[in-house]
Chain A
Amino acid sequence: MMGFYKKKAMLLFLPGFLGFLVFFVIPLIISFYYTFISNAFEKKFVGFDNYVRVFSNEYFQSALKNTFILSGVGVPLLLVFSFAVAAVFLYLGRAYHFLRLPFLLPMLLPTAGIVLIWQILFEGSQIPLLVGSQGGNRLPIYLLFIWKNCGYNIILFMAAISGVPKDCYEASSLDGCSVIKRHFYITLPLITPTLFFIIILSIVNSFKLFREIYLYYGTNYPASSLYVVQYYINNHFNKLNYQDLSTGVIIFASMVFVLVFALYRAEKRFNWE
């Protein structure tokens, strides 16, 4: 029966797909091409020279390290927080549903409108805990990341946890299981598909943190602990250093690809269904 619509559907499919090819896929391939040439003007083929040089560059290494630390710490923090809030929402019931607002709203708010408050709270205030980034402190960015992204995760977690059959919980509490243990051993395995979706989405969002960091510091050269890969890419773009830029891009993109692919495979292995 689907054959009935096939021709027309494929016709309508084309514009969106072609646009995607032109503005996303082909640029990626062109980037790849640029990693093998000497510079934008001579276009001489240089094999893997660019890769070796960029990889041994200390700024690039520092950028990679910062990016992965930021994601490596930020994402687990985000996940734990979102899970906890979702669990609390479900525990407290309908009456507290109106409190969804403060958690969901940040997801839609433009960073440019909010970063001012963040700057004031962290850079200039006297409150002891809210230290600015003088000592390489990443706290403001972590908090901004959690603040902005927990909403989406909370909704997903709530939907997933609601799907867990109640008898599992009853059985476990009969066996004398504490709340934390219960979530660990029962809830988590049973929401695996959604959990992996949330993990992957959160990791992808953590790489987009560049925008927040850029707006927060307002310059092309932020505090050294927050100099992430995108800064490297951006700055080389400004210097018209196409080959280093593209090489950095491809190295970073490959790492992301491997990471997400590994997670994808892990999900297939852990999936109970």
Chain B
Amino acid sequence: MKKRILGAVFILCALLFFFPVLASLTNSLMTPGEIGERYGDMKSISFSIIPSKVSLTQYFKLLSEDYAFLAMFWNSVKYAVVITVFGTAFALPTAFAFAKIKFPCRDTLFFIYIVVMMMPFQVTVLPNYLLLKFLGLLNTPYALILPGVFSPFQVFLFRQFIKAVPDEAIEAVSLESSSITVLFKTAVIPAIKPGIMALMVLTFAESWNMVEQPLIFVEDNIHRPLSIMLSIMGESSRGTLFAGSTIFLMPMILLYFYFEEQIVQGISRYRW
């Protein structure tokens, strides 16, 4: 009996947690007029999650009138995909070396990775800006892609994962072939597959969510991702803001549903 009561309370709590997403979804189905009525005046808002008339006007208006929206959406996709793919590609070999190969200063270098990983973005914003300016990469997609690709977080987590792979497995492969590609394909990657998937999803989410970097490093709207636009969009097109938010949330929601099991496994199986 006690379990049931706790279960019911828990379900309530979970619903509360889901509420923001739900509200975003249902509000996006209201007509822009209704949005204006309800939320126009910040002092007297009549919040609701039930539209008085369900309609897709917001989406239609947003996608057909706001030419920048879709362009920025694909920018976000581009950044997220490139950073995830190349970031993982660069981080895996680096993490492998940290985990399995003994070389001078290895542990000190890895400690530096940990230290840098803890610093918020602002710590390196100025020199990064100057460096990118010097390389002529400001205002190009590379300004966002390059720092993202070499982020220490992936190397850190991959190194923890790879450390758990038993040395014997690697030795076994070394008897068959001296190619490192074969080693990766047969021993390393299969052993940490859920971890790789979980990390790729997390990296994708992180790049999708990028806000400070585009604000500072990229000024032209052509190259900006969608995460910026929603904060700029505020005043002029309030009516379609919810549709914009929902479209922006959708890919991440879909990714979650697709990879839920791997994400949970990846995070829980490989820890400190």
The answer to whether A binds B is yes
Q: Kindly identify which residue among A13, A23, A256 contacts B119, using a CB–CB cutoff of 8 Å.
A: A256
- Number of B interface residues at 8 Å Cβ cutoff, please give it: 98
B11 touches A99 (CB 8 A): yes
Q: B199 interface residue, CB < 8 Å from A? A: no
B125 touches A25 (CB 8 A): no
Question: Which residues of chain A (107-140) have a CB below 8 Å from chain B?
Answer: 107-118, 120-121, 123-125
B118 touches A204 (CB 8 A): yes
Max chain A C-beta neighbours (<10 A), residue from B174, B226, B230: B230
Question: Which residues of chain A (177-236) have a CB below 8 Å from chain B?
Answer: 193-194, 196-197, 200, 204, 207-208, 210-211, 214-215, 218, 229-230, 233-234
Q: Kindly identify which residue among A1, A12, A147, A234 contacts B171, using a CB–CB cutoff of 8 Å.
A: A1
Q: B163 interface residue, CB < 8 Å from A? A: no
B150 touches A111 (CB 8 A): no
Complex interface: chain A residues within 8 A of B205 (CB): 107-110
Q: A101 interface residue, CB < 8 Å from B? A: yes
Complex interface: chain B residues within 8 A of A229 (CB): 122
Least CB separation from B96: chain A residue: A9
Complex interface: chain A residues within 8 A of B113 (CB): 20
Interface SS of B by simple majority: helix
Q: How far is the CA of A249 from the CA of B272 in the complex (A)?
A: 28
Interface string of B234-272 (1 = CB under 8 A from A): 100000011001101100110110001001100111011
A23-B124, A31-B126, A218-B231 given; 6 more Cβ-contact pairs under 8 Å = A17-B94, A19-B146, A103-B14, A107-B202, A108-B255, A113-B249
28 A/B residue pairs, CB under 8 Å, sorted by A = A1-B174, A9-B100, A10-B97, A16-B90, A16-B93, A20-B155, A24-B116, A24-B147, A27-B126, A28-B123, A99-B10, A100-B260, A101-B14, A106-B21, A107-B202, A108-B202, A110-B252, A111-B211, A124-B47, A155-B267, A208-B121, A210-B212, A215-B231, A233-B122, A234-B122, A234-B212, A237-B125, A260-B118
* Interfacial residues, chain A to chain B (CB-CB below 8 A): 1-2, 4-6, 8-10, 12-13, 15-17, 19-20, 22-28, 30-31, 34, 85, 88, 91-92, 96, 99-118, 120-121, 123-125, 147, 152, 155-156, 158-160, 193-194, 196-197, 200, 204, 207-208, 210-211, 214-215, 218, 229-230, 233-234, 237, 242, 245-246, 249, 252-253, 256-257, 260
List the 9 shortest-distance A-B pairs measured between CB atoms, nearest first: A27-B127, A19-B150, A16-B94, A12-B93, A159-B268, A124-B45, A13-B97, A16-B90, A197-B272
* Interfacial residues, chain B to chain A (CB-CB below 8 A): 3, 6-7, 10-11, 13-15, 17-18, 20-21, 23-24, 27, 39, 42-45, 47, 90-91, 93-94, 96-98, 100-103, 109, 112-131, 146-147, 149-150, 152, 155, 167, 170-171, 174, 178, 180, 183, 201-202, 205, 208-209, 211-212, 216, 226-228, 230-231, 234, 241-242, 245-246, 248-249, 252-253, 255-256, 260, 263-264, 267-269, 271-272
